[in-house]
Amino acid sequence: MEIKFDRVSLVINPYTPLEKTILNSVSFEIKETGIYSFLGKSNSGKTAIGELINALISPTNGKVYIGKFINDGRKIRKINRLRLSAGYVFKNPYDMFIESTVRKEIECGMKYFKYKLKDKNFRAKDALKLVGLDETFLNMNPRKLNLRDAKKVAIACILIFNPEIIILDEPTIGLNNKDKTDLERLLKLLKNRYGKTIIILSKDTNFCFKTSDYFYLMEKTRIITHGDKTLLKDEEILKAIGLEVPHIVKFSNEVRRQGHKLHDYINILDLIKGVYRDAK
Amino acid sequence: MQSRTLFGSYYPVVSIVHKLNPIIKLINFLICIITLILTNNLYINIFMFILTIIMMFLSYVPIRFYFKTFYFLRYIYLIIVFVCYYLNINLTDTLVYILKLITIIEYLKIFSYTTSPSETIYAIEKTLSPFNFLYLPLNKIAIKINNILRYIPNLETSKQKILKSLSSRGLDYYHTNIIKKIYITLKIRKNLFLVNKDKNKEIYLCSKYRLYNAKKYRTNYRTNKIGFYDIVFITFHLLIIISYIKIRGIL
């Protein structure tokens, strides 16, 4: 499914003293499946991009094309079909939960999108397994879960209805290192085996550097640059935007500055092996 | 990302009404409510209504913000008209009842849009200070009244978030019929109050950790002097009381 932003602007409270520009003439195009990251500081307009793709808000100017749907402020016919094909995981998972158990919560999406499946129960278990939780969570109250588990349940809620596009807003908040590795593995599985388009809206450059194929750097309501992994190797751009330079990039650049030769690595384990090999 | 047109949220601009002394503003508001409740005189009601509209324009808050509340309560006004018609109440009295309701609600909106939370607490505290001799916990009462006033915007913010999340999972509130809207409202009711309960608990804990003591009196850096416009506005409000007394023939 293609996504195209055509000079999209978003202003809230227009013509009042509280007027605030969220997006300022943003244009980009996503054609192929893959993992795309939108990196930027707070208030750079990342969340707005996710909400515009999901048609939760409409732009003040410009058009958003999501497959055959157009979000340009006018009423979208069969809006649920658009939302069925573009799942959106919220920043705060507790905002999503309305049911009393995790099972009901996960099946909620299937119920309202009128999915006609007999094996809903099996599917809920499957979705939970994908995110790394076991069956014991099914009868728990989602509001009483800790942030780490709640985040995983929120992802499972979206995975159950099998959307073509998955939008993750700050997916790494509250997750420990192991969970991040699991999430990375899951995203890669979704991309490679199921051919999903995944959009990550985050500040976590370390996680995005490992997982994503393409990057959009945002600052103050605009997309400054975009490119593949080489973009994150430029320390100056990242520092100018106020983002953290990935640890691997920082280390590699420092080593090269000292006059040593080192290949490009994405994974820390590969980097250690590489350093060991080069030292030999 | 939601727009700031909620009931009860503060609108930060510099205007004559914003600069008014909060105590005077509260006293004016009380005068407005009491006289409107006591009197059914058409002229007093029209005068109060015009004064409210003038204050709306002077507050520099967009008029559509006020109009939104009016539009939101349109069915209540219509019900009043129907009830009055059914009870054979004459047209003047019906007009008076509607004017009363609109004036009080819009006046409350002016008060909440132009007075910050800290100013409201200050005003309530000072206005209730004559009851000090009863050893009442005035600080606590003032904060509780303020919390009640600001509870609705908090509830509305949480509601917007939950509705958004529901929309993303196939239950769109804004693009459905009235039956589904009722269903969604009933569905989110419990969760909404739970979210707000958690939030209130967090606020309580934050104030506790910052050694906030509700029983102690707090110092205030703000010097709320009474200016020219304060005198002008309170004069108008006193005029209403005088006219009411004259009409009733008390003096």
| Distance of residue A61 Cα from the nearest chain B Cα, in angstroms | 16
Residue B7: is its pLDDT beyond 60?
A: no
**Alpha-helical runs (H) found in chain A:** 46-53, 79-85, 102-112, 120-130, 147-159, 177-192, 205-211, 235-241, 247-257, 268-279
Q: How many CA atoms lie within 13 A of B241 on its CB side?
A: 13
Question: Coil, strand or helix: which one is B23?
Answer: helix
Helix (H) or strand (E) holding B234: helix B228-248
Instruction: Say how far apart CA A106 and CA A162 lie, in whole Å.
Output: 12
- According to the model, what pLDDT value does residue B219 have? 65
Give the rounded percent of residues in chain B with a pLDDT score beyond 70.
90
Chosen from A10, A44, A96 to mutate, greatest number of chain B CBs within 10 A: A96
| Distance of residue B4 Cα from the nearest chain A Cα, in angstroms | 7
| Distance of residue A232 Cα from the nearest chain B Cα, in angstroms | 29
Give the rounded percent of residues in chain B with a pLDDT score beyond 90.
6
Mean pLDDT calculated for residue range A201-230? 89
Encode A145-161 in three state secondary structure. Answer: CCHHHHHHHHHHHHHCC
Select from B168, B171, B191 the Cβ nearest to the Cβ of A56.
B168
Instruction: Using pLDDT thresholds of 50, 70 and 90, give the confidence band for residue B4.
Output: very low
Contacts of B171 in chain A (CB under 8 A): 112
Contacts of A127 in chain B (CB under 8 A): none
Residues A201/A167, Cβ–Cβ less than 8 Å = yes
Instruction: Say how far apart CA A6 and CA A29 lie, in whole Å.
Output: 8
- According to the model, what pLDDT value does residue A230 have? 86
Token pair listed for B56 = 């709306």
Instruction: Say how far apart CA A204 and CA A198 lie, in whole Å.
Output: 16
DSSP string, A64-118: EEETTEEESSSPPTTHHHHHHHEEEE-SSGGGT--SSSHHHHHHHHHHHTT---S
DSSP string, B79-92: HHHHHHHHTT--HH
Contacts of B4 in chain A (CB under 8 A): 13, 18
Nearest residue of B to residue A13, measured between CA atoms: B3
Token pair listed for A241 = 């935007």
Nearest residue of B to residue A14, measured between CA atoms: B3
- According to the model, what pLDDT value does residue A38 have? 92
Cβ distance of A54 and B188 shorter than 8 Å: no
Which of A186, A234, A180 is CA-nearest to residue A202?
Answer: A180
Q: How many CA atoms lie within 13 A of A129 on its CB side?
A: 7
Token pair listed for B87 = 């009870």
Instruction: Say how far apart CA B47 and CA A20 lie, in whole Å.
Output: 37
Select from A12, A57, A98 the Cβ nearest to the Cβ of B166.
A98
Q: Look up residue B222 and give its amino acid.
A: R
Question: DSSP code of A199?
Answer: E
Which of B230, B251, B250, B242 is CA-nearest to residue B47?
Answer: B242
Mean pLDDT calculated for residue range B182-211? 79
Sheet holding A197-202, edge to edge: A86-89, A165-169, A197-202, A34-40, A214-219, A222-227
| Distance of residue B119 Cα from the nearest chain A Cα, in angstroms | 20
Residue B172: is its pLDDT beyond 70?
A: yes
Token pair listed for B160 = 């917007």
Residue B3: is its pLDDT beyond 60?
A: no
Report pLDDT digits (tens) over A158-207: 888 888 899 999 888 888 888 888 888 888 888 888 888 999 999 988 88
Mean pLDDT calculated for residue range A40-56? 89
- According to the model, what pLDDT value does residue A198 have? 92
Cβ distance of B3 and A13 shorter than 8 Å: yes
Cβ distance of B1 and A83 shorter than 8 Å: no
Q: What are the residues whose beta carbons fall under 8 Å from the beta carbon of A239, sequence distance 6 or more?
A: A245
Report pLDDT digits (tens) over B58-109: 988 888 888 888 888 888 889 999 998 888 888 888 889 999 999 999 998 8
Contacts of B11 in chain A (CB under 8 A): 17-18
Residue A215: is its pLDDT beyond 80?
A: yes
Cβ distance of A16 and B60 shorter than 8 Å: no
Name residues 147-176 of chain A within 8 A of B (Cβ).
157
Mean pLDDT calculated for residue range A128-153? 86
> Is residue B36 packed enough to be buried (19+ CB in 10 Å), middle (13-18) or exposed (0-12)?
buried
Provide the CA B209 distance to its chain's centre, in angstroms. Answer: 30
Residue B56: is its pLDDT beyond 80?
A: yes
Using the Cβ of B189 and the Cβ atoms of chain A, whether some distance falls under 8 Å is answered with no
Question: DSSP code of B211?
Answer: T
Nearest residue of A to residue B164, measured between CA atoms: A56
Instruction: Say how far apart CA B7 and CA A276 lie, in whole Å.
Output: 64
Q: Round the average pLDDT of chain A to a whole number and report it.
A: 85
Using the Cβ of B191 and the Cβ atoms of chain A, whether some distance falls under 8 Å is answered with yes
Q: What are the residues whose beta carbons fall under 8 Å from the beta carbon of A222, sequence distance 6 or more?
A: A23, A24, A25, A26, A45
Using the Cβ of B215 and the Cβ atoms of chain A, whether some distance falls under 8 Å is answered with no
Provide the CA A247 distance to its chain's centre, in angstroms. Answer: 21
Cβ distance of A47 and B1 shorter than 8 Å: yes
Cβ distance of B164 and A56 shorter than 8 Å: yes
Residues A213/A33, Cβ–Cβ less than 8 Å = no
Which of A18, A15, A45 is CA-nearest to residue A223?
Answer: A45
Instruction: Using pLDDT thresholds of 50, 70 and 90, give the confidence band for residue B222.
Output: low
- According to the model, what pLDDT value does residue A118 have? 65
Residue B5: is its pLDDT beyond 60?
A: no
- According to the model, what pLDDT value does residue B248 have? 77
Residue A133: is its pLDDT beyond 60?
A: yes
Cβ distance of B169 and A54 shorter than 8 Å: no
Token pair listed for A103 = 């099972």
Nearest residue of B to residue A21, measured between CA atoms: B1
| Distance of residue B188 Cα from the nearest chain A Cα, in angstroms | 6
Select from B168, B171, B187 the Cβ nearest to the Cβ of A54.
B168
- In this structure, the number of other CB atoms found within 10 A of the CB of residue A115 comes to 16
Residue A119: is its pLDDT beyond 80?
A: no
Select from B162, B170, B191 the Cβ nearest to the Cβ of A113.
B170
Give all domains of chain A, ordered by start, each with its CATH number. Answer: 3-242 (3.40.50.300), 246-280 (no CATH)
Between chain A and chain B, how many beta carbons pairs sit less than 8 Å apart?
A: 71
Mean pLDDT calculated for residue range B6-14? 72
Phi/psi for B127 (5° steps) reads -70, -30
Which of B98, B119, B112 is CA-nearest to residue B48?
Answer: B98
Question: Coil, strand or helix: which one is B249?
Answer: coil
Question: Coil, strand or helix: which one is B223?
Answer: coil
Nearest residue of B to residue A95, measured between CA atoms: B162
Token pair listed for B89 = 């109440």
Instruction: Say how far apart CA A48 and CA B60 lie, in whole Å.
Output: 29
Report pLDDT digits (tens) over B151-160: 777 777 788 8
Using the Cβ of B194 and the Cβ atoms of chain A, whether some distance falls under 8 Å is answered with yes
Residue A279: is its pLDDT beyond 50?
A: yes
Q: Look up residue B4 and give its amino acid.
A: R
Contacts of B13 in chain A (CB under 8 A): 17
